[in-house]
Amino acid sequence: MAMTGRQNGSRTVVIDCFPESLSRHRDHQAVVAVDVIRATTTAVTAAAGGWRCFPVASIEAAVELAQDLQDPLLVGELGGNTPYGFHLSNSPAQLASRTDAARPIILLSTSGTRVICEASRDQAVYAACLRNYTAQAATLAAHHPRVAIVGAGARGEFRMEDQMACAWIAELLVDAGYQPLAETVELVKRWSGATVEAITDGNSAAYLRATGQSHDLDFVLAHVDDVQAAFRLEGGELVSVPPAVRSQSLEQLSWGAS
């Protein structure tokens, strides 16, 4: 991909992976957590569907928070297994089929919710996935000159689907004039123009098929860029960025690519 847009050293974007990488990016104004299969897809699906969604980094945090919420729905996995006492796994497809949006959701995952919860309190923290990558990039372009997009990773691997979502967000920012740092330019080139079906060759997709959870893979493939909102962590809850802000940011993206 030919890099377009203005190269402005004061506006930078970097792609990284794993919760442990967060310490390298404390000087960035915004952190975007990406865990396509499945935590941030579940989080975006929840928040877009009307649930109040509270990501947590541990079982202990989930249990403590559950005492403060009214009839919460415990959703998540650790090491691929649904923790004892949880109502359902970290499944966007299962969540989307439910009709109890009045219940707040406590969301836990092995890596994805750790990225969300362990970022610095001084940073703006977002959860993004393939469902809302365009809206996420637009919001970043409007408000945050220095951005770190962090894939969750699994079993020591920067998974294909997370690379794709991170790269697609970064590509829009580069087109808006952001300078890509470190290996970001190579990742953007790798995934520019790719189709979402490419992730079906990855280890995450293989895991879902092997464990009888292909419905979540089908859900991810069928829901790409269909949520026009970004979701920011505020007081422990993922909240939607107001529509007026999204409109403004989309205009800025168009301006940056001219």
Q: What is the mean pLDDT of each run of 10 residues along the chain (258 residues)?
A: 44 97 95 98 97 97 97 94 94 94 96 96 96 96 96 96 98 97 97 98 96 97 97 97 59 48
How are strands ordered across the β-sheet holding 124-128?
73-76, 105-108, 53-56, 237-240, 231-234, 124-128, 30-34, 146-151, 8-17, 178-180
Query: Model-level pTM?
Result: 0.92
- What residues does each domain of the chain span? 10-256
pLDDT of residue 243: 59
What is the second-level CATH architecture of the domain 10-256? Alpha-Beta Complex (3.90)
pLDDT of residue 36: 98
The rounded distance, in Å, linking the Cα atoms of 129 and 142 is: 19
